Amino acid sequence: MKLKKFIILIALISFTVIKAQDNCSSFYPMVEGATFTYKLYDKKDKVNGTSNYKVQEVTTNGSETKASLNINYQGSKKSETFEMDYNFTCTGEGIRIDFNSLMPNQMVEQYKDMDVEMDITGTDIELPNNLSVGQELKDADINIAMSISGMKMKVEAKTTNRKVVAQESVTTPAGTFDCMVITADILSKAMMAKVTISDKLWLAQGIGIVKQETYNKKGKLESRMELTSFSK
C-alpha cells in the first residue's frame, strides 16, 4: 500500500464511527456478528475499493462493554488490500477507541520478524452517545515512531475541529436514512509526505455510517464511501 494512502486510512479510521441501537452505545455496534459493507469511490466517481466491517467479540465487565471490530479493505490493486482489527470501550456515556489498535495486521506481520522497534502514543478517540447540531467533539491523534535496522521513521495523524454541523436525509444503495452530519480536519505526516484533508460523515440512527466524503486542502472532493448493505 502506498504510504500516502496508508496514512489517510489511519486518519479516517480514527474519525470513523458506526452507529447502532444498543443499551450502552448509540454510536458503535455492540452486537457480535453485525456486518457492514461499503463501496469506496475516487474523485472521478470510479469504484476503487470495498470495505467490510464485522463485530468480532463483545464482552462486559462491570460498567464497561468492550468490543473488537474487524475491517477488511479490498482495493483496486492487490497491494492496496489490507485487514485490521481495532478495539473500543463503551462506558454508557459514549465510546473510546484504543489508539494502540489502529495498525493494519499486515504491517504488524511484516515487521514481526524484522529488527523493528515500534512506539505508539496518542489520544483515544471519543464519541458521546448524545449528539446535537452545533456540538464540538474532542480532538484525537495517533503517533507511531519506528526504528527499522537503525533507520527511524514517524507516522502522525491528528484529527481536529470535529463538529456536528447538520441533520439531513441521505440516500445510498442501502436505503434512505435520517442522519447526523459530522465534519473534521485531518493532518497526516510520514517522513517527507504530508497530507491535509477534511472529512464529512453521515450517521444514521440504528444503522451507522451511511456516507463519508473526503476533501483535499483546496476543498475539492477526493473520495467518498457509501453503505451498500448491513446486517445485525
Per DSSP, the residues of 87-154 read EEEE-SSEEEE-GGG-S-HHHHHHHHTSSEEEEEEEE-EEEES---TT-B---EEEEEEEEETTEEEE
Q: Which residue range(s) make up the domain with 210? A: 3-231
For residue 219 the three cell numbers come to 476543498
Query: What is the CATH number for 225?
Result: 2.40.360.20
Q: How confident is the model at residue 55 (pLDDT cuts 50, 70, 90)?
A: confident
Whether the per-residue pLDDT at 12 is higher than 70: the answer is no
50 or 156: which leads in pLDDT? 50
**pLDDT for residue 29:** 65
pLDDT of residue 45: 92
Cβ proximity of 162 and 14 under 8 Å: no
Q: What is the pLDDT of residue 60?
A: 85
Higher pLDDT, 12 or 174: 174
- Whether 109 has a pLDDT exceeding 60, the answer reads no
CA torsion 68-80-14-154 (nearest 10°) is 110
17 band by pLDDT with thresholds 50, 70 and 90: very low
Q: What is the largest CA-CA distance in the chain?
A: 53
Whether the CB-CB separation of 113 and 32 falls below 8 Å is answered with no
pLDDT at 174: 93
Cβ burial of 88 (10 Å; 0-12, 13-18, 19+) is: buried
* Cα 207 to Cα 197: distance, rounded to the nearest angstrom: 26
More confident residue, 87 or 175: 175
Q: Is the pLDDT of residue 15 over 90?
A: no
Residue type present at position 165: V
At residue 229 the predicted structure's pLDDT band, cuts being 50, 70 and 90, is: very high
Which comes out higher in pLDDT, residue 18 or 197?
197
Residue 97, pLDDT > 50, answer: yes
Count: domains in the chain? 1
Question: What amino acid is encoded at 120 in this protein?
Answer: I
Alpha helices per DSSP H over the chain? 3-15, 105-112
User: What is the Cα–Cα distance from 15 to 227, expressed in whole angstroms?
Assistant: 16
| Reported confidence tier of residue 104, pLDDT bands at 50, 70, 90 | low
Average per-residue pLDDT for the chain: 79
How sure is the predictor about 19, in pLDDT bands with cuts at 50, 70 and 90?
very low
Yes or no: say if 48 and 41 are a contact pair by the CB < 8 Å rule: yes
114 or 177, greater pLDDT: 177
Provide the β-strand partners of residue 181: 166, 202
| pLDDT, tens only, 113-150 | 556 677 778 887 777 778 899 999 999 888 888 787 77
Looking at residue 170, what is its pLDDT?
95
